[in-house]
Amino acid sequence: MKQTFDVNIKSFTQLVSPETIKEELPLTDEVIKTVIEGRRDVENILSQKDDRLLVIAGPCSIHDIDSAMEYAEKMQRLRNQVKDKINLIMRVYFEKPRTTVGWKGLINDPFLDASYDINTGLKKARSLLIDINRMGVPTATEILDPITPQYIAGLLTWVAIGARTTESQTHREMASGLSMPVGFKNSTDGSLTAAINAMTAAGAPQHFLGIDPNGRSSMVSTTGNPYGHIVLRGGTQPNYDPISVARVHEKLKAKNLLDAVMIDCSHDNSGQKHKGQSFVFKSALDQRMDTDKSIVGLMLESHLFEGSQPCGPDCKSLKYGVSITDECISWETTQKLINCAYKKLQSR
């Protein structure tokens, strides 16, 4: 008899359950403190009860634990220096969306060799988040796979839903149940409609298919997430300019949504070039300083060293601290931008 199901499936590999990984890599009191205080601070910034600037900075993607920890140590020192004016959060991205094919992130392929040891990837991701939070540095990531949150969401202060997935009903439902503020990026063509609709959907109770802490298929019921907000990442043209931002404010107010805007200084706002991020950062900061306090946050793609490098078949020859996905600014440039912003904010 011919088979009618799983015709194109090569194999199934059972994942370790979220509960098992949580027991193996538990949260300490200091980690819990970082996460809870980090979320509270972001919520207060989004609702403009806290007038500090939110800055999310870090590698486009994490591919090397050692360089990620070195970056986190540098951020921890800078975070403490500017904390009265800037709330600095580390971007720790483990999943990468792909238009066609390519390396999909540390969780999917932790050894960068097409071995796809996802069980190891999940453990590496959770362990790194624990170590960074233990240092007192809150973390942020993009959630791509709806199964992932059960493994790592308890360690995250802020989450993004990307431009390619903001329109997805599955991701909107997932966001409605997440425990932290969620930023929805505008579509790759620059359209705001999908992100605004996503904020509405994520703010409402939802019922959908998912997994429970034991990894069992379940119906998930949520209460809705009140801290969904928009992230401007550009499109066919940049959208960080005052006219574009004013248009966003109008649309958010018309829908009675949270009027808080984060500007992504990378991607199409910088023309996909790392050197453009500094200009976007300074321009958006000036807008906030001059007229628009509803620009509450800025995002930078930043690594130890600038630029990017291809990840070929021999990943052992990779340069340390250089992105293998999107171009990043260097830590030196990042520090200069943050200190420049701090001095400007201090002068007000």
> Are residues 186 and 238 in contact, defined by beta-carbon separation less than 8 angstroms?
no
> Does pLDDT of 316 surpass 80?
no
End-to-end alpha carbon distance in the chain: 76
| Residue (of 153, 135, 25) closest to 70 by Cα position | 135
Residue 143's pLDDT band, with cuts at 50, 70 and 90, is: very high
pLDDT computed for residue 49 by the predictor: 96
Q: How far apart are CA 215 and CA 208, in angstroms?
A: 15
Strand partners, 142: 160
The average confidence (pLDDT) of the chain is 96
54-75: pLDDT as tens digits: 999 999 999 999 999 999 999 9
> Does pLDDT of 313 surpass 70?
no
pLDDT computed for residue 101 by the predictor: 81
> Does pLDDT of 169 surpass 90?
yes
DSSP run (H or E) holding 78: helix 65-82
| Residue-range domain boundaries for the chain | 18-346
pLDDT computed for residue 99 by the predictor: 76
> Are residues 135 and 72 in contact, defined by beta-carbon separation less than 8 angstroms?
yes
| Residue (of 60, 38, 58, 36) closest to 50 by Cα position | 38
Centre a 10 Å sphere on the Cβ of residue 326 and count the other Cβ atoms it contains. Answer: 19
90-107: pLDDT as tens digits: 999 999 887 778 899 999
pLDDT computed for residue 314 by the predictor: 62
Centre a 10 Å sphere on the Cβ of residue 289 and count the other Cβ atoms it contains. Answer: 16
Phi-psi region of 116 (alpha: psi -120 to 50; beta: other; left: phi over 0): left
9-54: pLDDT as tens digits: 999 999 999 999 999 999 999 999 999 999 999 999 999 999 999 9
Residue 346's pLDDT band, with cuts at 50, 70 and 90, is: very high
> Does pLDDT of 129 surpass 90?
yes
* pLDDT, average across residues 237-241: 97
Q: How far is CA 84 from CA 78, 125, 193, 238, in A?
A: 12, 30, 35, 30
257-298: pLDDT as tens digits: 999 999 999 999 999 999 999 999 999 999 999 987 899 999
**CATH code for the structural domain at 18-346:** 3.20.20.70
| Residue 123 half-sphere exposure toward CB, CA atoms < 13 A | 13
In the chain, what percentage of residues exceed pLDDT 70?
99
| Residue (of 165, 118, 143, 146) closest to 220 by Cα position | 146
pLDDT computed for residue 223 by the predictor: 98
Whole-angstrom Cα Rg for the chain: 20
Query: How many residues make up the chain in this entry?
Result: 348
DSSP 13: -
